[in-house]
Structure 1
Amino acid sequence: MMKGFIVHPTYDIKGNKVFVELYGRLENGESFLCLKEYRPYFFIREKDLNSALEIENFEYEKTDFLNFSKEKVVKVYTDMPSDVKRLRREFEKNNIECYEADIKFAYRFLFDHDIYAVIDINGEYKEGERVNRVYEDPYLSPSEGDIPLRVLSMDIEVDEETQEVVCVSFYDGRKYKSFILRKEVEGAVSLSDEKDLLIEVKKYIIEEDPDIIVGWNVIDFDFKYLEKRFSKHKITFDLGRSERGTKFRTERSFIRASRVSIDGRMVLDGMYLVRDFALKLEDYKLDTAAFEVLGERKIEIEKDIHKILEKDPEKLVEYNRKDAELVYNIIKEKKLIEFSKKMAGITGLQLDRVKGSIASFDSLYLRRARKRGIVCPSVKGGEKKHVIGGLVREPLYGIYDYVLLFDFRSLYPSIIATMNIDPLTFTEEKTKIKAPNGVYFKSERAILPEIILELMEKRKKVKHIYEEQYAIKIIMNSFFGVLGNPNCRFYNSKIANAITAFGRFFLNLTTEKVEEMGYKVIYGDTDSIFVVSNAENCEEAEKIGKNIEKSINDFYESYVKENYGTKNYLMLEFEKLYEKFYLPKQRHLERGAKKRYAGLMGEKVDIVGLEYVRRDWTDLAKQFQYNLLKKVFLNEDYETYIKETVENLKSGKLDSLLVYKKGVRKDLESYTKTTPPHVKAARKLGNFRDRVIKYVMTKNGPEPVENLGRVKIDYNHYIEKQLKPIADSLLVFFNKSFDEIVTEKKQATLEDFL
């Protein structure tokens, strides 16, 4: 028996038979392919069988499985996976509902055998052409374990003048391999023409046999460009563990990552791994991420690759290698492969699909439904209906002492578990479990609450393994959104609204109970409340926080049982103590600003939603706000600090902090009605192709940092637009203003003239 990690589940058709192919890496370090013959199928209701047979003759099998309405279903077999879609279309034209008729064929096999990421393989094998072991019809069973995968980082350089790929480098954590065109460079393989270079690159990937290929923007640039050049030279673009070609699924939006399908391998884009699972950055350039994670920078070279290839090919290879190395080390440092493997182990999805919340939900729910003898509906789509979000209470603006922050632990998953919320238990009949939006749920055994409780229990056990804990948190928190998405087979806006309605209800009820205890709730947002403790010191505030936590949790234990007849899983946690706390006003309004606050915790200022954490404000504003808040919280001289900041700004000492960074979300030509400052700056560059523009405000308007020379910075702009609004939002609580402090003149009020 041998343990293996499934890197890529797919299928192949040989003759008139369909084989599931499971590619991966074994615990002994060898690569493998398991071949299992399997039949495509889906379900229809037994009462629709005769009508279906009138449309087309097919093989079927009667089962004991039931749909959600407890009707018996029949298993309909087809010859090929593509026949499922065709037959479903014909049946649905005749009002015959089809169940589970949209599950990817390889995943159908995995679901049916309850296989996730790791398997035990029993059986004979032979050596394959591009894999070490090929198992034909082995016995497979689900397993667990950590199996190391082989990761290879890749980067290419393109000569824009000739359109050729002129340099390609690889790095696997131990060694480099570089290929360069028409130049002799020590340590690199020199090729006389591009075709030979591409052939050698392909050969190297196949020989190294990585499970995962990584890079930065590696799919949308490197792989897409390589495909184009392979095609030009009539070289088959088969870089995988079979001779089948590479397929792309390209996304135009930065929100969704493109995918590439290479048999037996995964291609993971470091840029999206960092964005989705690791860090929020000002921009997602490799240089930015490398500096943030590793404290390193890309090597600086001339932008003209043609010129650098001719003048200094050694530098080009060094530059190319460094990029491949940086990507590898960022991913290693942030443990992003380990995290993806944990996600795959929990969801049963391949590594480049683990972020898919609908796919994760499907994988977990369908497996458990199968064990219960229940078949699930196919995706129907439809129009998305509005789902009301969480409650955000009106903030009571001001500056407070000893404020307590309480959070419900995993609020929406806890509500699902407590209230037995499930597509299976949703009912039009009146039951004891009634959501505030008037939706009812049965108390019978459900599937989704079981999944959540199992994940919660698993999360407790892996407290010491951050990657696994974080993976479970992401998966659980995605379930609510899935139910409100028409692309989910269980889409039901009433269920999604029931979850958020319960959330709003419990936040209000918690606020009411805390205030009955004699404490003031000054703000609440979705799953958290902020409470003024009335304490004289930190020690007293801590005791009050723990007492409130216990009282509320004791209350819910009895309240849930009495009112809904279910077990309570709601848990309020005393999360933080702020010695000083600031809730700002909305500018020009006598109302608190939602989702914006700051608090002092020891020597650190915790800031949420204010200018300090927003990308479109300058470093000047961020530094000024942080320091000003700290001085106010610590009762230090903030007036002198304000004056000194203005003086230093005017004298040019703060010029390095004046850069605006703004995202450009569409083509510059499409800005027609209005032209924002960042677009004006970008247009001045002529060949701007980036996602983020950096610019400063000058006497002549916005100027990109690349064009800065002797232009005069508009310091008054920064005083009025960056410093003054931040200062005034805080000074208003001391009956002072920025202008008054800077000019040392008190502003006249109506009373001065009476």
Structure 2
Amino acid sequence: MNPVCEPEAQQQGFILTRQQSDGADGIDFTFWLQQNNGAVSVTVTGQEAILFVFDRDAEAIKQLLQPYAGWRLIDLDLKDLEQQSVHGLYCRSLQTLRQITDLLNKHHIPMIEEDIRPVDRYLMERFIQGGVKVVRSHQGVQLKPSEYEPRLKMLSLDIETTMQADRVFSIGLYGGGISRVLIIGDGQDEPWLRYLPDERALLSAFVSEVTAFDPDIFIGWNVVGFDFRVLYERSKRLEISLKLGRDNSTVQVIQSAQGKWFCRIAGRVVLDGIDTLKGATFQFESFSLEYVANQLLERGKLLGHQSDNGFGNGLNKGEEIQQVYRDNPRQLAEYNLEDCRLVWDIFAKAQLLHYLVERSNLTGLALDKVGGSAAAFDNQYLPRLHRKGYVAPVYASGDSDLGAPGGFVMDSRPGLYKQVLVLDFKSLYPSIIRTFIVDPFALAEGTGTDCDPDDLVPGFNRGIFSRKSTILPGIIERLWQARDRAKAEQNKPLSQAIKIIMNSFYGVLGSNVCRFFDQRLSGSITLRGHEILNRTRDKIEQEFGYTVIYGDTDSVFVWLGDDFPEPQAAAEGAKLARFLNRWWVEELQQRFSLPCYLELEYETHYRRFLMPTMRHSEKGTKKRYAGIRLHSDATEETVFKGLETVRSDWTLLARRVQRELYQLIFTDQPYVEYIKQVVADLKSGKLDHELVYRKRLRRPLEQYIKQQPPHVQAAHKACDTLQKQGKLGRISAGMHIEYLITVNGPEPLQFASSPINYQHYLDRQLAPVVDTILVFLGQDFESLCAPQFKLF
């Protein structure tokens, strides 16, 4: 019986992990797939790796490779984007591939697409994204694309250790159906708590728990760079095999040349909460677990609430953990388990796993791929480009001397306004790519072939694009339609994934570390954006007489006038958007005979709006403003963009005063007495708790030689004090330093003993945030508070 006809000959699943290795008859690709009844391993054997070289180098390559076996050089009907013909260089093993690429690099022979992993190319060229269908026949195993919705099993992991991480105290595990802490000690076991006699037994029990639970996904907070790294190092030291792979293989934790840690487990994916949140474009003042949990879940950790660096109040977190473990191990276990729950709940609240699955289905990126915008672009673009008869350029070899500025930011008109509208171009850069056919393939056809002039669209930086030969606009159109469906279905993770992917396309074309970098492409996007914003501003001012006070990348801020009736502002915004959308359709048809995919939306109505000046200047700022946003349901929201209240390097005092003072002024309430009371409270010491600076050490303390900024001075003083007390003063890069400015300079919060320098806080914290808005009311901080200043 033909096996392809048997029901078991085909199976579906979702790709968890992918691996490549040299086999007996070529390169083997091993994929672990999640299926409804568990996970299965599938291996595709006898494959080759491929890269491309120019025809002109073919003879020299043949001579160089004569001593090597397992390769073949084939003349292909392909060319690069500069119309240069290429050969395909095929290798039968990964070892041969490495040897050949090293040799060609040594002889400065250019290669194309040599950096693409063969296992990734196998999936990419078959348009396989997340879901896959396995077809088995007498010819072997083949994978094909398939739509498959996985039901992934997550396990949240957290460990507690000594301060030097040279011993593991406990391991917390939390997920659907499991809530358990393994801890070294001699207490009484409970359903959620298991005591082990030593660290060897702890690690062995951890492996047993993982094997029994059989997760698809591990999640945690810095779970690769800390938890798995420590577990891996301790297992090696104790000569215990951490056999966490689904094939009973050992976990591998490695560090890249750039210092990034990676964790590889056959059939299981490890996701770090910090990287995943950042990849999904979440933004927080701090990405500590305590801070993010409080922001998303409105609850935090059970220990160490105040500080993550040891200079908050009393013991630092590391010392506190050591003490709790000595005095009350069960309390440490509760803390350990709650950290696991926090990470689990953050993933659930932010729908992070759903987002990653949708991203994988759209782009083919592995679930644990951090960033990956260039790889996502390659996965969608390269197979389509190959089918058009082209290969990619030599890496980042496009035109780079033409100048391609970033997003356009208009000079602002500073002032304190009423009735300001924001009009926003929906996904402006993807819209420009789609409308003006900004596309590497269209550029190659438009500049390198004999096209009818009527079939060409002019860009910027000498870019000329073919109307008929395109790839990227079609990809954007499909993504755009998918996002519209996702919005209609209220699928926020999918909508967010598509938005991030579309917005990354400009970055891929405009970054000199990306394959398709070319300033004819990036300039044709950003410079077109400049033109669109300028012409939109001019049209608003000419047709309606309103003043555009600011513009930033894809938005214009329109001042209707302080006397414009507030209830009519939203309708006026919608009217402006409709008019401008019609005008752009007519304009592009008349100038270029192009359909218009630009879409301007009325986004926001600020009933009060502040556009500040630059400090010590009358010029307006950029990317800094504040205002009261009026929503369609008549609710209000005070918005701060780029100002001190949203910057973590300013004190709580400055941030609070800015919020409260602006609210008073925006709502026409008295504010002079408020300012005077703040100054009086500052002088009396009532606000000392709001005067703490908090800043991160960007590099090791000993590397700050030429300059010693305040937080570095405070860190040195903390080390000195700790040493005098006989304690180990461990301060490393990445730590936040909390300090006060005293009459004797910066002092660490925990050890501050000198009187606070209140004049510093008046001059450097209160005056700047107050004067930013008072200047438009004809007043200033010093004159309002002059009598109190004399007291200092």
Superimposed CA distance per residue, residues 494-550 of structure 1 (whole angstroms, 9 cap, x where no aligned partner):
322222111111111111111111121111112111111236222322232122212
Q: CA 1:392/1:34 → structure 2, altered by over 3 Å: closer, same or farther?
A: same
SS across alignment from 1:499: helix
AA partner of residue 35 (structure 1): T
* Match of residue 581 from structure 2: 553
Question: Superposition pairs for residues 671-686 of structure 1, below 5 Å?
Answer: 671-686=704-719
Q: CA 1:725/1:307 → structure 2, altered by over 3 Å: closer, same or farther?
A: closer
1:693 aligns with 2:743: no
* Match of residue 388 from structure 1: 405
Question: Superposition pairs for residues 481-560 of structure 1, below 5 Å?
Answer: 481-517=507-543, 518-534=545-561, 536-560=564-588
When structure 1 is superposed on structure 2, of 606-615 and 318-327 the one drifting more is 318-327
AA partner of residue 180 (structure 2): K
1:655 aligns with 2:688: yes
Distance 2:548 2:164 in 1: 65
1:203 aligns with 2:220: no
Shift of 1:138: 4.2
Distance 2:242 2:161 in 1: 18
2:81 to 40, 55, 68: 68
1:32 to 32, 35, 40: 40
User: What's the RMSD between the two structures over aligned residues?
Assistant: 2.9
Please say if residues 418 and 608 of structure 2, whose CA atoms lie closer than 8 Å, have aligned partners that are also in contact.
yes
1:737 aligns with 2:755: no
1:233 aligns with 2:238: yes
Q: CA 1:660/1:173 → structure 2, altered by over 3 Å: closer, same or farther?
A: farther
2:660 to 627, 630, 634: 627
Please say if residues 366 and 376 of structure 1, whose CA atoms lie closer than 8 Å, have aligned partners that are also in contact.
yes
TM-score norm. by structure 1 comes to: 0.90
Shift of 1:244: 4.5
When structure 1 is superposed on structure 2, of 366-375 and 585-594 the one drifting more is 366-375
Distance 2:162 2:572 in 1: 66
Structure 2 unpaired stretches of 5+ = 1-9, 305-314, 631-635, 720-728
Please say if residues 610 and 626 of structure 2, whose CA atoms lie closer than 8 Å, have aligned partners that are also in contact.
yes
Distance 1:351 1:17 in 2: 27
Please say if residues 206 and 239 of structure 1, whose CA atoms lie closer than 8 Å, have aligned partners that are also in contact.
yes
Please say if residues 185 and 314 of structure 1, whose CA atoms lie closer than 8 Å, have aligned partners that are also in contact.
no
Shift of 1:611: 0.9
Shift of 1:606: 1.3
SS across alignment from 1:226: helix
Shift of 1:68: 3.2
Q: CA 1:506/1:162 → structure 2, altered by over 3 Å: closer, same or farther?
A: closer
Superimposed CA distance per residue, residues 245-271 of structure 1 (whole angstroms, 9 cap, x where no aligned partner):
444453698xx9632222222111112
Superimposed CA distance per residue, residues 408-460 of structure 1 (whole angstroms, 9 cap, x where no aligned partner):
11111111111111122225579652234333222232112211121111111
AA partner of residue 97 (structure 2): V
Please say if residues 393 and 524 of structure 1, whose CA atoms lie closer than 8 Å, have aligned partners that are also in contact.
yes
AA partner of residue 34 (structure 1): V
Q: CA 1:306/1:531 → structure 2, altered by over 3 Å: closer, same or farther?
A: closer
Distance 1:92 1:678 in 2: 45
Please say if residues 347 and 360 of structure 1, whose CA atoms lie closer than 8 Å, have aligned partners that are also in contact.
yes
* Match of residue 129 from structure 1: none
1:642 aligns with 2:645: no
When structure 1 is superposed on structure 2, of 272-281 and 523-532 the one drifting more is 272-281
* Match of residue 18 from structure 2: 9
Identity %: 33
Distance 1:583 1:355 in 2: 34
SS across alignment from 2:440: coil
Superimposed CA distance per residue, residues 142-168 of structure 1 (whole angstroms, 9 cap, x where no aligned partner):
122421211111112223479222211
Superimposed CA distance per residue, residues 172-211 of structure 1 (whole angstroms, 9 cap, x where no aligned partner):
1442232222433423333333223222222332332211
Please say if residues 436 and 498 of structure 1, whose CA atoms lie closer than 8 Å, have aligned partners that are also in contact.
yes
Q: CA 1:220/1:252 → structure 2, altered by over 3 Å: closer, same or farther?
A: farther
Distance 1:227 1:204 in 2: 16
Distance 2:165 2:492 in 1: 47
Distance 1:162 1:287 in 2: 20
* Match of residue 131 from structure 1: none
1:156 aligns with 2:199: no
Distance 2:249 2:399 in 1: 38
Q: CA 1:539/1:123 → structure 2, altered by over 3 Å: closer, same or farther?
A: same
* Match of residue 572 from structure 1: 600
AA partner of residue 102 (structure 1): D
Question: Superposition pairs for residues 331-480 of structure 1, below 5 Å?
Answer: 331-353=347-369, 355-379=371-395, 387-426=404-443, 428=447, 432-463=456-487, 464-480=490-506
Please say if residues 680 and 788 of structure 2, whose CA atoms lie closer than 8 Å, have aligned partners that are also in contact.
no
Q: CA 1:14/1:437 → structure 2, altered by over 3 Å: closer, same or farther?
A: closer
Q: CA 1:338/1:745 → structure 2, altered by over 3 Å: closer, same or farther?
A: closer
Q: CA 1:596/1:525 → structure 2, altered by over 3 Å: closer, same or farther?
A: same
AA partner of residue 571 (structure 1): E
AA partner of residue 590 (structure 1): E
SS across alignment from 1:462: helix
Distance 2:578 2:196 in 1: 71
Shift of 1:621: 1.2
Structure 1 unpaired stretches of 5+ = 125-134, 748-754
Distance 1:485 1:161 in 2: 40
Superimposed CA distance per residue, residues 575-626 of structure 1 (whole angstroms, 9 cap, x where no aligned partner):
1111111111112212111111111123321111111111111121112111
* Match of residue 763 from structure 2: 720
When structure 1 is superposed on structure 2, of 192-201 and 85-94 the one drifting more is 85-94
Q: CA 1:261/1:379 → structure 2, altered by over 3 Å: closer, same or farther?
A: farther
SS across alignment from 2:558: strand
AA partner of residue 333 (structure 1): K
Shift of 1:281: 2.5
Shift of 1:719: 2.3
* Match of residue 179 from structure 1: 182
SS across alignment from 1:684: helix
Please say if residues 282 and 615 of structure 1, whose CA atoms lie closer than 8 Å, have aligned partners that are also in contact.
yes
Q: CA 1:597/1:136 → structure 2, altered by over 3 Å: closer, same or farther?
A: farther
Distance 1:601 1:740 in 2: 31
When structure 1 is superposed on structure 2, of 696-705 and 565-574 the one drifting more is 696-705
Please say if residues 398 and 519 of structure 2, whose CA atoms lie closer than 8 Å, have aligned partners that are also in contact.
no
Distance 2:397 2:99 in 1: 18
Please say if residues 397 and 518 of structure 2, whose CA atoms lie closer than 8 Å, have aligned partners that are also in contact.
no
Shift of 1:284: 2.0
Shift of 1:118: 0.9
1:270 aligns with 2:273: yes
Distance 2:405 2:327 in 1: 61
1:595 aligns with 2:614: no
SS across alignment from 2:785: helix
Q: CA 1:639/1:183 → structure 2, altered by over 3 Å: closer, same or farther?
A: same
1:101 aligns with 2:118: no
Please say if residues 118 and 144 of structure 1, whose CA atoms lie closer than 8 Å, have aligned partners that are also in contact.
yes
Q: CA 1:54/1:598 → structure 2, altered by over 3 Å: closer, same or farther?
A: same
Superimposed CA distance per residue, residues 117-155 of structure 1 (whole angstroms, 9 cap, x where no aligned partner):
01233459xxxxxxxxxx994453212242121111111
Q: Give the count of matched residue pairs.
A: 733
Q: CA 1:180/1:584 → structure 2, altered by over 3 Å: closer, same or farther?
A: same
Shift of 1:61: 5.5
Superimposed CA distance per residue, residues 96-120 of structure 1 (whole angstroms, 9 cap, x where no aligned partner):
6544332111111101221100123
